[in-house]
């Protein structure tokens, strides 16, 4: 068995792009691509544990994705429901904690109940935190956080002069989760698409040409080992 490449990478975030094109190139329905994508999710969750990744965040549905056809949107929602139901036992057995970020208000009640249920069930797990960004948009998250901060100021719980970067972070959906070290995007697009803009200010990016259904554990390991090989300076002088 190969040795884990790294034991201490704190947080990897992935933009799982290219499912639709993968399917269309094969004359299949776009949903078929998402279903293949869901299989890849399972493999990458398992590999993350082996590789010592402590937090994995996956961009599953953006605030912009509502513009897709009704059929594709409802197919994706049903896929998310099935994923939670099918994976709950393994997540419990493997110590995976599951969380969701994004707006829940617009999601259907059945899905929201399952999301709340799996978050509760896995709340004490510590081997890996799997965060799914569902109906998530980075700007939307910042707007919602700003509103919450404004209410806290209005109610006298927060003074404007006391607002720091840490305060802002604590009002985001990701409060309590460390910032991503590495953001991976598949399918050869060089965009960040409103994914964790505040949290990824110092992250490294890896752009992979393969579409998400064609992503592999080997490519994942490679991206992580490339990340380790690069020096991260955080804007300061090396060695300081």
Q: Is 37 in the site for ligand FPP (CB under 6 A)?
A: yes
- Told to check if 83 binds ligand FPP by CB under 6 A, we report yes
Judged by CB under 6 A, does residue 137 bind ligand FPP? no
Query: Does 192 interact with ligand FPP (rule: CB under 6 A)?
Result: no
User: Which of 10, 65, 179, 214 is the catalytic position?
Assistant: 65
Strands 96-101, 128-136: pairing is parallel
Total of chain residues touching ligand FPP, rule CB under 6 A: 19
Query: Which burial class, exposed, middle or buried, applies to 67 when counting CB atoms under 10 A from its CB (0-12, 13-18, 19+)?
Result: exposed
Q: Using the rule CB under 6 A, is 185 a contact of ligand FPP?
A: no
Residue 58 has φ and ψ, to the nearest 5°, of: -120, 135
From the list 8, 10, 17, 105, the catalytic residue is: 17
60's tokens: 């599953």
Does the active-site annotation cover 65?
yes
Question: Least Å distance between CB 108 and ligand FPP?
Answer: 16
One residue of 58, 111, 114, 145 binding ligand FPP per CB under 6 A: 58
| Chain mean position to CA 35 | 17
Residue 174 near residue 2, CB atoms below 8 Å: no
Q: Interface with ligand FPP includes 194 (CB under 6 A)?
A: no
Reply yes or no on whether 67 is catalytic.
no
Q: Which is nearer to ligand FPP, 78 or 170 (CB)?
A: 78
Q: Which H or E element spans position 132?
A: strand 128-136
Which pair of structure tokens corresponds to residue 240?
Answer: 């300081």
Question: Residue 235 burial by CB count (10 A; 0-12/13-18/19+): exposed, middle or buried?
Answer: exposed
Q: Which residues bind ligand FPP (CB under 6 A)?
A: 16-21, 34, 37-38, 41, 58, 60-61, 65, 79-80, 83, 132, 212
Active-site annotation, residues: 17, 65
């Amino acid at each position: 068995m190969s040795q884990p490449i790294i034991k201490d990478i704190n947080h990897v975030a992935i933009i799982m792009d290219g499912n639709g094109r993968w399917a269309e190139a094969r004359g299949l329905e776009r949903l078929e691509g998402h279903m293949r994508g869901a299989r890849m999710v399972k493999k990458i969750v398992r590999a993350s544990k082996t590789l010592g990744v402590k937090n994995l965040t996956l961009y599953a549905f953006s605030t912009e994705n509502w513009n897709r056809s009704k059929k594709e949107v409802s197919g994706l929602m049903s896929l998310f429901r099935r994923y939670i139901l099918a994976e709950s036992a393994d997540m419990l057995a493997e110590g995976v904690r599951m969380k969701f970020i994004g707006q829940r208000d617009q999601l259907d009640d059945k899905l929201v109940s399952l999301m709340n249920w799996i978050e509760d069930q896995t709340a004490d797990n510590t081997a890996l935190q799997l965060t799914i960004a569902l109906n998530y948009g980075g700007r939307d998250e910042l707007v919602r956080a700003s509103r919450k901060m404004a209410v806290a100021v209005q109610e006298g719980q927060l003074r404007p002069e006391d607002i720091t970067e840490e305060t802002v972070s604590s009002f985001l959906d990701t409060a309590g989760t460390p910032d991503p070290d590495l953001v991976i995007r598949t399918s050869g697009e060089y965009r960040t698409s409103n994914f964790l803009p505040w949290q990824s200010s110092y992250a490294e990016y890896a752009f992979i040409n393969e579409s998400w259904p064609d992503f592999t554990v080997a490519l994942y390991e490679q991206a992580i080992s490339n990340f380790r090989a690069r020096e991260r300076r955080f804007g300061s002088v090396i060695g300081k």
